[in-house]
Structure formats: C-alpha cells, structure tokens
Copies of this chain bind each other. A is one copy, B any other.
Amino acid sequence: MALLLNCDLGESFGSWTMGMDAAVMAFIDQANIACGFHGGDPLVISNTLTLAKAQGVSVGAHPSYPDLVGFGRRSMNCSADEIKALISYQVAALDGMAASQGLELSYAKPHGALYNDMMAKDEVRHAIMDSMAAYHRPLRLMLQATPQADIHRAEASERGLELYFEAFADRCYDDDGRLLARSKVGAVHSREKILAQVQQLNEQGTITTVSGHTLTLQADTLCVHGDNLEGVQAVEAIRALLRV
C-alpha cells in the first residue's frame, strides 16, 4: 500500500489569501480543509471543496481551537465537552458541504495546538476520539505515527474508530520517534533529505533518526506543505518519487 500525501488547505480567510492551494492540489491525495475556526470561511470552504473535486482528491476536516487571530496555534484549556462539541460542529459543517458537492468526507485531522494537545494529553485525545466515534457515520481520525501507535490503536478500537497514521516528510525525528523541536539544528530537512526520508519510509517502513538510528514507523500518509512555491515543488518531487 503506497503512502498517501496529505496537505493542509483552505486556510485563506475573507480577503486574506494563504497557501498555493490550486498548485499543490494536483500532487496530493488528501486535503485537510480548515473549518472556519483557525482559517477558512464558508465561501473559502466551498471553493476548496470544488478544487478538491476537480483533482479527485479525498477530503478531510481540519478542525481547530476557536482562535482566528492565533491561527489555532495556541493551546487553549478547553473542557472535554467543549472539545467534543467543537470537533462535532466543524466536522459536520465540512461533511454536509462536501456531500452537497458530491464529495464524501472521509476523515478529520485536528489542527495546530489541538493536534499537539491530542498527541500530548490523554484527555484531549480521548475527547476527540469520543467525538469522532459519536459522529453519525464512520470517519477516520488522523494522528501522528509514534511509538505509542499501539496504545492509540487500542483506544480507537474500543470506540469502533479507525485511524490514519501520518509521518512528516520534512521533519527530523529523534530516537524516541518524536519530531525534533524546530529550534534544534537539523529539525527541518533539505529537499534532498526529504526525498531520502520519503523513499526509506515508503520502501522499508523506517526512518533514520537524528543520531543515525533506524526506527520503524508505520505510516499511512505523509504530511506535506503547500504554503509557498518551495513547498509545492517539494510535494511535486515527492509525488514523482512515490509514483515510480
């Protein structure tokens, strides 16, 4: 099973444009579409769905904490009930809008600080899983492939929830299978290293950590970026590599 490519999209808002959505859409498999809480507005969502449909890209919801000015990047201390409701609202908005364009929403991937909190805090992850499992039709939850994947699989299985595990194409991993902090030297790969990491992951299911160790990482999908031209060109190169 080939690795899929997922990308955050639809993050423009009103008169503000962000990301090269039209350009990157041609090279990806899964579009994580902002739902209006950190980016995206109803019209942007509608246009992004149209774009995804034209390119045959699978669509997912990209729900966030309600923090437009902070772009969803600041952790907010929400209760489990608040998290369940905000996931449910954003997923439902995307689901119904997608269906009205003849698309089927297939997953959700939390955004920014909500994603980080999902990986770091059991209660946040459980609230997200509870919300996804309570949704009226099955949708997958996308989270990070880590050495804790077995725990996450068990948590999901209890709830009858299916998962996508994602790895990062452009980020260096430490020996514990976590992303090296962006502040560290070598945290973000060059184009050459990106392609090497993708190839190794795709062919051997492993990555080489910052210290040179080889680590197994079971990933279904790779997170790529379409923020700027350099990012889009990297995605194009990854796409070419995976097609071979």
Contact = CB atoms under 8 A, between A and B. Distances in A.
A193 to B, nearest CB: 26
Interface residues of A, number: 49
How many copies make up the complex? 4
Contacts of A66: 67, 69-70
A174 interface: no
A43 B70 CA distance: 11
Nearest to A89: B42
B135 A70 contact: no
B134 A100 contact: yes
Interface in A48-76: 66-71, 73-76
B93 A89 contact: yes
Contacts of A123: none
A82 B95 CA distance: 19
A57 B137 CA distance: 23
Interface in A90-124: 90-97, 99-100, 102, 113
A112 to B, nearest CB: 10
B77 A43 contact: no
Interface of A: 12-18, 36, 39, 41-43, 45-46, 66-71, 73-78, 81-82, 84-86, 88-97, 99-100, 102, 113, 134-137
22 contacts: A12-B16, A13-B16, A13-B68, A16-B17, A36-B89, A41-B69, A43-B86, A45-B89, A46-B81, A46-B88, A66-B70, A70-B76, A75-B76, A88-B96, A89-B93, A89-B97, A90-B93, A92-B94, A96-B135, A96-B136, A100-B136, A102-B136
